[in-house]
Amino acid sequence: MNVKRFAAAIAAAAVLLGLTATAPAAAQTEPSTSAEVPSEPTAAPRSQAPTAPAEADPGEGAIRQRYESMSPEERAQVGAPVGPEVVELEGLRWQDFTHARFYWTPDTAVTVVRGMIYSRFLDLGGHAELGVPITDELASSGGGRYSDFRTTDGVIHSAIYWSTRTGAHLVVGRILEHFRELGEDATFGYPATDTRLTPDGFGAYNHFVTPNAQHENASIYWTQPSGPNAVRGAIRDKWAASGWERGPLGYPITDELAAPDGVGRYNQFNGDGRFPAGIAWSPQTGAHSMQGVIAQRYIELSGPGGVLGYPTTDEQTTADGIGRYNHFTGAGGASIYWTPWAGAHEVYGGIRARWAQLGWERSYLGYPVTGESNSPLGRANEFERGFIEWHRDSGEVVDYLKN
């Protein structure tokens, strides 16, 4: 036991109980029973300089005053004092009650953390870990409750949110900021986990339950390079199935965004660090992923707002085990094919239909080595061993070998 801390706690308890620290009164003199010896006259005391009043400790009595100012309903919610006031530092006082803890600092005055949030606060290490509450418990936008905290060095801002659906969970730092930017539990969801580090130690995340869902279906992930980004719904399910951030898609580098048509949604991811990745969703196609050079080419062609439209497959391996491809909805049917020697190239519309009739990359033409481009007669793709052309005047599509 720290003796100084114990002494300070006892003194604080005396203040709480309304006791004063004045010195005891001087003992009264018994009346003399001796008549033989008369008392000597007492000399008048010398005048003394007035003593300056002792300076009160910072915050002394503030917790008691806050408690006494509460309504009967509020007192019932926090309960009765269950221990003395603790003076931990010159700028930090706290006291436990049945269902709450009161804190005082010069910056916050008296704040109260209570109920289920109080219980979770203690489970997480109390003010030694999270710092002191900088708000009382407040109502969140979606009907939950929360209290904000800040570490004593002022560096880390966090909050514990509580709802009847998910209980009490901690949300920290930039994830907390973004959660509030996204509308908090009214529009984004209720925290369903505390903020956790990712297995690689490179990022952090919280999972959430959106307002109309019955299970976890949204997340905010944070990394130093890209900050916090939100993933939800079918796109999140697809990402989870790929292995979360440990899979080939990596970390999200955008929130879920609306496609230009206002119908679909998509997220971009950091992929392998050299090439990006993405997941796009529409009601007709569901959610499908792209990665590597194919994803980069899809982005260059304006993603779901471009000629390729929405993906209808995840990235697949070709039958020969060498190439990779995704199919898309655009232009009556579209694809991007990739090989190590030719890179990634798009094929769509009538040219793609003709190539499919011939047997795709297994045909005599092989893989595409260019995207579709203008030709003297219309549009054309070059392949390893030939060409397919669409003729503007006649609408005819022809294929032929290279010379």
Helix (H, G, I), strand (E, B) or coil at 15: helix
Report pLDDT for 287.
Answer: 98
Residue with tokens 């339950």: 209
Does 265 have pLDDT greater than 70? yes
Side chain identity at 293, as an amino acid letter?
Answer: V
∠ CA(237), CA(120), CA(173), 5° rounding?
60
Tens-digit pLDDT profile for residues 214-237? 999 999 999 999 999 999 999 999
* Mean pLDDT score across all residues of the chain: 88
pLDDT at res. 45? 44
Three-state DSSP class for residue 168:
strand
pLDDT-derived band of residue 55, with 50, 70 and 90 as boundaries? low
Q: Is 401 exposed, middle or buried (0-12, 13-18, 19+ CB in 10 A)?
A: exposed
What is the DSSP code string of 103-161? EEETTTEEEEEEHHHHHHHHHTTHHHHH-EESS--EE-TTS-EEEEEE-TTS--EEEEE
Confidence at 54, pLDDT banded by 50, 70, 90: low
pLDDT for 17 beyond 50: no
β-strands 257-258, 265-269 pairing = antiparallel
- Whether 388 and 351 have beta carbons less than 8 Å apart is answered as yes
User: What pLDDT does 231 receive?
Assistant: 98
Instruction: Say what the pTM is.
Output: 0.84
> Where is 14: in which H helix or E strand?
helix 3-16
42/14: higher pLDDT:
42
Q: How many CB atoms lie within 10 A of CB 367?
A: 25
What is the per-residue pLDDT across 149-160, written as a single tens digit (0 to 9) for each?
Answer: 999 889 999 999
Stretch 320-326: mean pLDDT, rounded?
Answer: 97
Q: What is residue 56's predicted lDDT score, i.e. its pLDDT?
A: 63
Q: 333-342 contacts: CB < 8 A, separation 24 or more?
A: 334/307, 334/308, 334/309, 336/290, 336/294, 336/297, 336/298, 336/308, 337/361, 337/367, 337/368, 338/292, 338/293, 338/294, 339/367, 342/367, 342/368, 342/369, 342/384
Q: Of 95, 120, 115, 90, nearest to 105 (Cα)? A: 90
Summarize pLDDT for 181-217 with one digit per residue, the tens: 999 999 999 999 999 999 999 999 999 999 999 999 9
Structure tokens at 118: 């109080």
Question: In this predicted structure, what is the pLDDT of residue 58?
Answer: 86
**pLDDT computed for residue 89 by the predictor:** 82
pLDDT over 60 at 47, yes or no: no
